[in-house]
Amino acid sequence: MNYSVVIPAAGQGKRMRAGKNKQFLELRGEPLIIHTLRLFDEDASCEQIVLVANQDEIETMRELVKQYGISKVSAILKGGKERQDSVRHGIECLTEDQIVLVHDGARPFITHEVISRLVTNAMKHGAAIVAVPVKDTIKRVKEGLVMETQKREELWSVQTPQAFKWSLISEAHQKACEHNVIGTDDASLVEWLGHEVSIVEGDYQNIKLTTPDDLLFAEAILTERERKR
């Protein structure tokens, strides 16, 4: 089953403390966003990529897409204040009757195999997300004191991509916007509508490059993947 993907890349990268949007940081000589875009460009089931960028970075993104020969980018749209606003802009430019993936520009290590299982699940359930079981013990804390220890067997750490039938994710984003509902991921808006969301187990290497430490992990993952090739 073919799909379209919305890639939000319109953040500031504040936690990375690089003095610029982390999408332009280089990994093995290529910008982070290019690693992510290439993954989908090379995925046989990906029909089109909608890239969401900061207004003043749209031209740079366009040039990079051209320079690195990324062929499936159909639009580069202006992002919004929050990630959710950026994703909504991307969803709004697509149409019904398709599976839409949402994937962070800052997650360059998703695999074709996980994408394929995700899309199959989204067709069956309407909504599916990639996640991994939590490894640490998680506690709820208030004012420096432990309130509760959560049942670890019920906890999953959620990643992107997240995949949806377009009509469902479009409705979720529109209604969330009308009611000022903010979620830290897109699936939480679908959950808020009362719709089921299926989990697809992914892998721990699908990290989001968020803080400077993640650059070290990224280098290690790239080294291992090159060795396996």
Ligand X SMILES: C[C@](O)(CO)[C@H](O)COP(=O)(O)O
Ligand Y SMILES: Nc1ccn([C@@H]2O[C@H](COP(=O)(O)OP(=O)(O)OP(=O)(O)O)[C@@H](O)[C@H]2O)c(=O)n1
Q: Which is nearer to ligand Y, 100 or 126 (CB)?
A: 100
Does 184 contact ligand X by CB under 6 A? yes
Q: Which is nearer to ligand Y, 15 or 152 (CB)?
A: 15
Q: Which stretch binds ligand X (CB under 6 A): 112-120, 138-146, 157-165, 166-174?
A: 157-165
Q: Nearest-5° angle of CA 142, CA 153, CA 117?
A: 115
Does 185 contact ligand X by CB under 6 A? yes
Out of ligand Y, ligand X, none, what residue 79 binds, judged by CB under 5 to 8 A for its kind, is ligand Y
Q: What is the DSSP letter of 15?
A: G
Does 160 contact ligand X by CB under 6 A? yes
CA distance 175 to 75: 24
**Which is nearest to 163 in space by CA: 92, 109, 114?**
114
Q: How many Cα atoms sit within 13 Å of 76 on the Cβ side?
A: 22
Helix, coil or strand: residue 111: coil
Provide, rounded to whole angstroms, the least separation between the CB of residue 223 and ligand Y.
23
Site map (CB under 6 A) of ligand X, residues 84-113, x = contact:
--------------------x---------
- Residue 87: count of CB within 10 angstroms of its CB: 30
Residues that bind ligand Y in the complex, under the rule CB under 6 A: 8-15, 22-23, 52, 79-83, 86, 104-106, 208, 210
Does 158 contact ligand X by CB under 6 A? yes
CA distance 35 to 181: 32
Helix, coil or strand: residue 107: coil
Q: Which stretch binds ligand X (CB under 6 A): 139-147, 155-163, 190-198, 213-221?
A: 155-163
Q: How many Cα atoms sit within 13 Å of 148 on the Cβ side?
A: 4
- Residue 79: count of CB within 10 angstroms of its CB: 23
Provide, rounded to whole angstroms, the least separation between the CB of residue 140 and ligand X.
18
Q: Which is nearer to ligand X, 99 or 129 (CB)?
A: 129
| The dihedral sign for the CA sequence 47, 25, 13, 10 | negative
Out of ligand X, ligand Y, none, what residue 90 binds, judged by CB under 5 to 8 A for its kind, is none
Out of ligand Y, ligand X, none, what residue 195 binds, judged by CB under 5 to 8 A for its kind, is none
Q: How many Cα atoms sit within 13 Å of 138 on the Cβ side?
A: 11
Out of ligand Y, ligand X, none, what residue 80 binds, judged by CB under 5 to 8 A for its kind, is ligand Y
What does the binding site for ligand X look like in residue numbers (CB under 6 A)? 83, 104, 158-160, 184-185, 208
